[in-house]
Amino acid sequence: MVEKVTDGILWVAGRDKFMPDSHIYVLGDAGSEDLTIVDCGIVEMGNYKLDELDGYGISIEQVKRIIMTHTHLDHIGCLRDFLERGPHIELWVHREEATYLESGDDRVVFGNKMFESMIRSQYDIPERFFEFKVTRKLEGGEFLDVGGNRFKVIHIPGHSIGSIGLYDETRKIFLSGDTIYADGAIGRYDLFSADSEMLKESLEIIRDLEINTLLPCHNRIVKGGADQMVKNTVQYWLPLLK
Ligand SMILES: [Zn+2]
Ligand SMILES: [Zn+2]
């Protein structure tokens, strides 16, 4: 189901099965030719999202770029489905994870060997399935003017080395990827390229933003009044991270 979060932001919820599937967000005016999709989902979970968007009146031709909050399998697993239907689409990823994608190194994607063998037993994944050319390497700190909205890229490593959040400073909307959720949880920090010390610093950055609307990539979203909940979540977790 496609749900309007607010002007210029649509949400298509992930469908978790035996593995989680990330939500996606569509940024931009639904009638424009300058749409941005944030994240994709796990393997084989791309086409239903594109079909739902199609039913909502959004065609793949309107999508200019995909921005990944990070490149774990449950976010990038079906990127190929998106790119097959829209070969013109640009891929924007933080440079720390772009390096892995461009060399076909899938250690960040799978997170660890156990997940990799679990996934490979479920899906037929060819060699170099997660090798991609990254159109734009994000740094953190830059502003993206996409589809009539301005988002600041915030590098928040810890859950993974190249995790980013996208922050609309005017409307205080934060797309948090897997770093912080709306139910008191934070992203795990035991996978390849994760780091609890970095996560701690990233959570402090998030705490000091003012966040009205919190849009994570899993579970529920909060459309307003999220600030205190975010601050409470960070305060709870900081002492537990070493
Ligand atoms: Zn993740
Ligand atoms: Zn995820």
**b/e for 32-41, b at 16 or more Cβ within 10 A?**
eeebbbbbbb
CA of 59 to the centre of ligand 1 (A): 27
Average pLDDT of the residues of the chain: 97
Q: Which residues contact 194 (CB under 8 A, 6 or more apart)?
A: 158, 159, 160, 161, 188
Residue 18 pLDDT exceeds 90: no
- Give the homologous superfamily in CATH for domain 2-240: Ribonuclease Z/Hydroxyacylglutathione hydrolase-like (3.60.15.10)
CA of 42 to the centre of ligand 2 (A): 9
pTM recorded for the entire structure: 0.97
Phi, psi of 221, deg, nearest 5: -120, 160
- The pLDDT, as a whole number, for residue 152 is 98
Cα separation, 155 vs 121, in Å, equals 33
Cα separation, 212 vs 229, in Å, equals 10
Closest ligand, as measured to the CA of 216:
2
Phi, psi of 85, deg, nearest 5: -80, -25
Q: Which residues contact 36 (CB under 8 A, 6 or more apart)?
A: 26, 27, 28, 63, 64, 65, 66, 67, 146, 147
Rounded to an integer, the average pLDDT of 12-22 is 95
- The pLDDT, as a whole number, for residue 198 is 98
CA of 221 to the centre of ligand 2 (A): 14
CA of 39 to the centre of ligand 2 (A): 9
Q: What confidence tens digit (pLDDT) does each residue in 190-238 have?
A: 999 999 999 999 999 999 999 999 999 999 999 999 999 999 999 999 9
CA of 216 to the centre of ligand 1 (A): 11
CA of 31 to the centre of ligand 1 (A): 31
CA of 159 to the centre of ligand 1 (A): 6
Residue 8 pLDDT exceeds 90: yes
Rounded to an integer, the average pLDDT of 164-180 is 98
CA of 167 to the centre of ligand 2 (A): 18
Rounded to an integer, the average pLDDT of 175-189 is 97
Cα separation, 50 vs 11, in Å, equals 12
- The pLDDT, as a whole number, for residue 42 is 97
- The pLDDT, as a whole number, for residue 197 is 97
Closest ligand, as measured to the CA of 191:
1
Instruction: Return residues with CB closer than 5 A to ligand 1 (ion).
Output: 72, 178
Going by C-alpha positions, the residue among 182, 187, 228 that lies closest to residue 207 is: 228
- The pLDDT, as a whole number, for residue 242 is 79
pLDDT > 70 fraction of the chain, expressed in percent and rounded: 100
Contact predicate 137/98, CB 8 Å: yes
Closest ligand, as measured to the CA of 16:
2
- The pLDDT, as a whole number, for residue 209 is 97
CA of 179 to the centre of ligand 2 (A): 9
- The pLDDT, as a whole number, for residue 137 is 98
Q: What confidence tens digit (pLDDT) does each residue in 67-116 have?
A: 999 999 999 999 999 999 999 999 999 999 999 999 999 999 999 999 99
The H or E element that residue 164 is part of is strand 164-168
Cα separation, 113 vs 92, in Å, equals 26
The token pair at 151 is 């988002």
